Amino acid sequence: MSKNREKNRKQVIIVTQVFYPDTQATSQLLSALATALASEPPETIEQKLAVKVLASYPSQARGQASSSHREEQWGQVLIKRGGFKIDSKKSLFHRALAYFSYLLWLFFILLFKVQKHEQVLVVTNPPFAPLVVYFAHRLRSLTRSTFSYFVLLHDIYPDGLLALGKIKTEYWWVRLWKGINRKALGSAQKVITLGRDMSMHCQRVYQLAPNDLQVITNWSPVDFDQAPKYSAEQSDLWKLLPSQAQHPQTLLVQYSGNMGLWHNIEGIVETASYLTESPIHFLMIGDGRRKQSAQDYAQSLGLNNMTWLPFQDLDKLTDSLQCTHLSLVSQRPEVLGIMVPSKYYGILASGRAVIAQAPALSEIALSIEEHQCGIVLSDPNPQKLAEQLRELCADRERVDQMGVQAYHAYQKSYSFSQAVGLFRALFHKT
């Protein structure tokens, strides 16, 4: 690359609290995106992007936070870290301390260190990050030295907490939060949503115009075009399952991902309780605030048709995503338009059928209906899910066919390269 081209590269800053080497879904997705944006673009695009990431210290794996450097070069991506080096998973107090120390550091960097020509992509992780970016943007506009920014909505707060009844609209600070959200989203160059339902929510609740929004769906953190493909029985994870799960007649059903507020994990446990006499085994992979209560519930029911595992490292995702015959996606109806389960796209890429407990107008439900790659149950009733699983267990050919459709859907509409191209186009238009 010539020195002139190197000098004229567009500068992009990604703001996300979690990043490599953390193993959460957000970290995996944005780590892949940053790497792709910083790599050489196709010949049709003249400029390469210089990518910098403003993240906190990793905490998912013990010991990583203390060994991480404040600044490091990861391939072609420059990572700058701030906030306290603490284990945010230790308690709610530690999590709050990690959040606010990171946000204070971020505000300082945005206010004094970011150049006018740099473009900022801020992710709603943590939820207040777009607000911090907005305040820094507004303060710098007083001196006509402000930067432009994009907001990538993974989850919408406080909307999700309101929908689940965790907080009330009558609280003054909730009204203030939503009011600042409206200004922060309205001042962005573009608000990127993960689905059509989320765009409709932003139009309805935050009065954004359609041309203020762009849908860029998530993608699989694993490139299955390059990765080996095999059946569930050929995976390494299969060998670790109990003997009843490895029986040839058993339908292995996997839930992999976050087990948080948006997901009905206890409902999956109840479903499993109705299937103790059926050749169906549940593989539950991930973590989150609802996991422990769900495990306790399963234990109280004496279930032996469920296996629980932690999040899998990125280098094991190829194996874990294929260690199933059928994958579950759960989205509580109250959070329609507020979140889109990112796990869906990894399932499609791995060529596995999907059964989704999701609202009929959700992005996931619309996608499944369009591509005929699974089944949508808009009623979250655990008994109905159990009945559907019994039917699919008796019709494995149908399960396999939906898996084929899933892979084709991913290649046609949701591939990583398509998402990267859309992000590149956004940055080059500005």
**Owning domain of residue 68:** 3-219+415-429
Query: Do 398 and 425 lie in a common domain?
Result: no
Query: Do 421 and 403 lie in a common domain?
Result: no
Q: Where are the beta strands (DSSP E) in 83-172?
A: 119-123, 148-152
Query: Do 9 and 157 lie in a common domain?
Result: yes
Does residue 226 sit within a domain? no
Nearest to residue 252, comparing CAs of 300, 207, 306?
Answer: 306
C-alpha dist (Å) from residue 207 to 83, 186, 375, 383: 34, 9, 33, 39
Query: Do 272 and 195 lie in a common domain?
Result: no
Query: Do 361 and 419 lie in a common domain?
Result: no
Does residue 104 sit within a domain? yes
Query: Do 145 and 79 lie in a common domain?
Result: yes
Does residue 150 sit within a domain? yes
Query: Do 87 and 135 lie in a common domain?
Result: yes
Looking at the structure of the chain, the number of domains it has is 2
Does residue 225 sit within a domain? no
Query: Do 188 and 238 lie in a common domain?
Result: no
Q: What is the largest CA-CA distance in the chain?
A: 70
Query: Do 47 and 114 lie in a common domain?
Result: yes
In sequence order, the 6+-apart residues with CB closer than 8 A to the CB of 246 are 233, 238
Does residue 227 sit within a domain? no
**Identity at 18, one-letter amino acid code:** V
Does residue 62 sit within a domain? yes
Nearest to residue 234, comparing CAs of 256, 255, 257, 252?
Answer: 252
Which CATH number characterizes residue 267's domain? 3.40.50.2000
Does residue 397 sit within a domain? yes
Query: Do 273 and 255 lie in a common domain?
Result: yes
Does residue 144 sit within a domain? yes
Query: Do 87 and 46 lie in a common domain?
Result: yes
Query: Do 184 and 239 lie in a common domain?
Result: no
How confident is the prediction along the chain (430 residues), in pLDDT tens digits per residue?
A: 444 455 567 899 999 999 998 878 889 899 999 999 998 766 555 567 999 999 999 864 444 544 678 999 999 999 999 999 887 777 778 888 989 999 999 999 999 999 999 999 999 988 999 999 999 999 999 988 899 999 999 999 999 999 999 999 999 999 999 999 999 999 999 999 999 999 999 999 999 999 999 999 999 988 777 777 788 889 989 988 999 999 999 999 999 988 887 888 999 999 999 999 999 999 999 988 889 999 999 999 999 999 999 988 878 888 999 999 999 999 999 999 999 998 999 999 999 999 999 999 999 999 999 999 999 999 889 999 999 999 999 999 999 999 999 999 999 999 999 999 999 999 988 7
